[in-house]
Amino acid sequence: MELTTPNDIELLPPAEDSAATASSQLAAGGIRDAVRGLVREGRYEDAWALLRPSLLVDDDPAIWGLACRFRRTATDQGWAPSCRREVRLALLCSYESTEFVEHVRVACAAFGIALDVYAAPYGQLEQEALGVNSGLVQFAPSHVLVAPTTADLSFPSLSENPEGAVTAEVKRWRSLWDALGSRLATRVVQHGFVVPDESPLGHLALRMPGTRLSLVRELNARLGAEAGSTVLLVDVERIAATLGKRRWVDPRLWYTARQPFSYEALPSLAKATAAVLAGDVGLAPRCIIVDLDNTLWGGVVGEEGPEGIVIGDGAEGEAFAAFQEYLLALRDRGLLLAVASKNDLAAAREPFERNPSMRLRLEHFEAFVADWRPKSAQIAEIAETLGLGLDALILLDDNPAECAQVASALPMVATVPLTMPPSEFIRTLEGHVHLEASWLSTEDRVRTSSYAARRHADALRLEVASLPDFWRSLEMRGRVRPVEAKTLERAAQLTQKTNQFNLTLVRRTPEQIERLAAEPRTICRTIELEDRFAQHGIVGVAIAVPDPEEPTTAVVDTLLLSCRVIGRTAEQHLLAHLADAAIGLGYDRLRGIYVAGPRNELVSDLYPKLEFVDAGEGRWDLDLAGSTLTSEYIVEAA
Amino acid sequence: MSDTQFERRFHDILEDVLGWDVTYADADGPATVEAWDSLAQIRLVNALETAFVVRLPDSALLEEQTVGSLKQLVAERGAVR
């Protein structure tokens, strides 16, 4: 297709943008024809496989418009993308949200979330949240998105009483969150406010605490502080600023249709919202795997030697160093780093050991694979070593052929080809990968050191004769405690994220666990574990509820352990405590359930191994009167 | 851009917004196309503006249009046909 040249047409947006628009249209045009061809043949799955990577990488409104049309067409034909989690999202907003909802549906599908949406009538925020039998209440959402705009704020252009104005708005949103939280077992997600791009006071506005600009900035900060770990915030101001405020808002759309953002803004807002939801339901990536030559440094270490590679000095060297520091910052927030490189192991390790300009050191990597096998084999080994699913991994590699090999052999692994100059690596990573955590718990911060401890423990395992010797040598101490306010978040996070050692795969929000814990005959426990190498923090959850038909039977509704403590007998410690607590509440039987999922085969025979008796239909019973369930290798600490 | 290329691209966009595998005539508009409601018209105008890199007048959003009238508005603003 021939494109119009800028000289032929009245330009909008300005000239420097039109080149980008034109090239992206070319890409969109190619994808459009391919997608439509596949849809005509009824091959929706193939069409989606073609669209999905572009959606994750690109915020091009033409591709997103195409994806929205595709989703509507395919859904009408009964097709739905395969998803790993479900979210029931209620939307409370004060504007025309049809297009936003369409885009959020597409974004959620791209992240693996099956989305059900209830859009409350617009402007009915308080009514829907407070109404006894409102549509919102009947919908029973897992998440409520509160999406106002700056136009909803009662801020004058210059306030006499800035503190009072901000406090009044904080109270308004805070009480809406409280009303939702207290009446529904739901997670609240709030869109932050966009600081207006017009300023009648010019740059003076920054020096005056009462200007609308200052008030909106202050409100965002205060809402962030109020939200804490319970309410999820989407920093809409930052997304709008990244795109550019003038492109974010199309005033014409606001006046004609009450839509507060442009079509160009919709993909990034939808994607950010979906990424925050994905993080909350445990779909965020867990481990970043990096290549070495021309990814972490310039040049080939096998040829230039550990001192000859480009790192630290010069334009390229500084860019590589900055990229290493960014990766370190990701590690500090709890992501794991690993290396997969086609190199000789000794040569690959040398720069980390001998080049003082390197920011990353060997101890920062939870796995380090350098040999001559295909990348996919290296990555499979890393997944195995770390006990992670392939869908939790991202590969960064400057060689697109390696990325393609991995994408074809292990399609669950996300791959990011770093084919651009190193100065653009950080932006590329930020644009491609949506690394949203719902909360940074102490456990996240200690997790990386805990994985390192696991490697030491694994090494130790080889030196001791038997598993019981190994367990004893670890000198493990456990703390089983009732779930309480400060452990709710972590307990919920574990139910969301744990796929392997998880008997029932029941996912819960903190609010749902809080409600369960308040029931007099339920038992909700967390376990904290430490050994001679590390504090692992809270690594397991067990919940028992009364059987509706046999009130003296306690059903183990949830039993799970983080993968870093599998094979340590922690489940036995946890179950022994659960049994004691059940006896204390007058139960005479503990009933275990195993629900098979894609990755929990590991625990399919847990209950029979612990001498629970087969009661049929995936149920296993333990008679509490004659129970011999004890924990031999873990000492309960005070 | 030749006439046929313009037509093809214009119709691609119509189909993406209003529904695939339908042929739209110049006289078609809200009266003859069920999917053509006010939201569809806003989508249409935005998609045309992005694809042809033009800015259409507010009347394109606010007043009733047909396939032919939108084609006219786009062509007038520079997309060569």
Taking only the tens place, the pLDDT of each residue in A61-86 is 989 999 999 999 999 999 999 888 99
Out of A9, A61, A256, closest to residue B62 by CB: A256
Q: Contact, A396 vs A418, CB < 8 A?
A: yes
Out of A22, A73, A252, closest to residue B20 by CB: A73
Closest CA–CA distance from residue A55 to any residue of chain B (Å): 17
Q: Contact, B44 vs B12, CB < 8 A?
A: no
Amino acid at A566: I
Closest CA–CA distance from residue A10 to any residue of chain B (Å): 6
Residue B81 banded pLDDT, cuts 50, 70, 90: very low
Q: Contact, A574 vs A482, CB < 8 A?
A: no
Out of B1, B53, B61, closest to residue A2 by CB: B1
The residue in chain A having the minimum alpha-carbon distance to the alpha carbon of residue B3 is A2
Chain B residues with beta carbon closer than 8 angstroms to that of A2? 1-2, 5
Size of interface A-B (CB pairs under 8 A): 80
Closest CA–CA distance from residue A262 to any residue of chain B (Å): 9
- Poorest-confidence range of A380-389, A439-448, B1-10, B72-81? A439-448
> What integer is the mean pLDDT of A247-255?
92
Mean pLDDT of the residues in chain A: 87
Q: Which domains does chain B have, with CATH numbers?
A: 3-76 (1.10.1200.10)
Task: Judge whether A76 is closer than 8 Å to chain B, CB to CB.
Answer: no
pLDDT score, position B3: 80
Optimal mutation site among A1, A2, A3, A4, interface B, most CBs of chain B within 10 A: A4
At CA A244, angle to CA A214 and CA A414, rounded to 5? 115
> What integer is the mean pLDDT of A388-401?
91
- Find residues 236-295 of chain A whose CB sits inside 8 Å of chain B: 252-253, 256-257, 259, 263-264
pLDDT score, position A3: 37
Closest CA–CA distance from residue B43 to any residue of chain A (Å): 9
Q: Contact, A337 vs A365, CB < 8 A?
A: yes
pTM above 0.80, yes or no: no
**Token representation of residue A606:** 């847990």
Q: pLDDT tens digits, residue range A578-617?
A: 999 999 999 999 999 999 988 788 898 899 988 899 998 8
> What integer is the mean pLDDT of A111-138?
85
Q: Which domains does chain A have, with CATH numbers?
A: 83-280 (3.40.50.1110), 287-432 (3.40.50.1000), 466-636 (3.40.630.30)
Q: How far apart are CA A432 and CA A428, in angstroms?
A: 6
Chain A residues with beta carbon closer than 8 angstroms to that of B50? 21, 25, 61-62, 263-264
Out of B5, B39, B77, closest to residue A9 by CB: B77
Q: Does A401 score more than 90 pLDDT?
A: no
pLDDT score, position A17: 40
Query: SS3 letters for A190-238?
Result: EECCCCCCCCCCHHHHHHCCCEHHHHHHHHHHHHHHHHCCCCEEECHHH
The residue in chain A having the minimum alpha-carbon distance to the alpha carbon of residue B12 is A32
Q: Contact, A552 vs A587, CB < 8 A?
A: yes
Q: Which residues pair with A476 in a beta bridge?
A: A634
Smallest CA-to-CA distance from A327 within A375, A361, A293 is with A361
Q: Does A497 score more than 90 pLDDT?
A: no
Closest CA–CA distance from residue A49 to any residue of chain B (Å): 19
CB contact under 8 A, B79 and A22: no
Q: Write out the H or E segment, with its range, that includes residue A539.
A: strand A535-546
Q: pLDDT tens digits, residue range A324-377?
A: 999 999 998 888 999 999 988 999 999 999 999 999 999 999 999 999 889 999
> What integer is the mean pLDDT of A379-405?
91
> What integer is the mean pLDDT of A196-206?
89
pLDDT score, position A600: 85
CB contact under 8 A, B47 and A65: yes
Backbone angles phi, psi at A92, to 5 degrees: -110, 110
> What integer is the mean pLDDT of A227-247?
93
- Find residues 21-50 of chain B whose CB sits inside 8 Å of chain A: 21, 38-39, 42-43, 46-47, 49-50
CB contact under 8 A, B21 and A40: yes
Sign, CA dihedral B17-A82-A60-A20, equals: negative
Q: Does A146 score more than 50 pLDDT?
A: yes
Closest CA–CA distance from residue A72 to any residue of chain B (Å): 9
Q: Does A385 score more than 70 pLDDT?
A: yes
Chain A residues with beta carbon closer than 8 angstroms to that of B53? 4, 6, 9, 11-13, 18, 21-22
Chain A residues with beta carbon closer than 8 angstroms to that of B12? 29, 32
pLDDT score, position A10: 34
B18: Cβ contacts below 8 Å, ≥ 6 apart: B24, B33, B35, B36, B40, B44
Q: Does A23 score more than 80 pLDDT?
A: no
pLDDT score, position A456: 62
CB contact under 8 A, A257 and B77: no
Amino acid at B25: A
Q: Contact, B24 vs B11, CB < 8 A?
A: yes
Burial class (CB in 10 A: 0-12, 13-18, 19+), A465: exposed
Contacts 24+ apart (CB under 8 A), B60-65: B61/A252, B61/A256, B61/A257, B62/A256, B64/B29, B64/B30, B65/B29, B65/B41
Chain B residues with beta carbon closer than 8 angstroms to that of A73? 19-20
Closest CA–CA distance from residue A436 to any residue of chain B (Å): 31
Chain A residues with beta carbon closer than 8 angstroms to that of B58? 252, 256
> What integer is the mean pLDDT of A173-189?
89
CB contact under 8 A, A98 and B77: no
- Poorest-confidence range of A373-377, A525-529, B24-28, B77-81? B77-81
Q: Does A282 score more than 80 pLDDT?
A: yes
Closest CA–CA distance from residue A264 to any residue of chain B (Å): 9
CB contact under 8 A, B16 and A32: yes
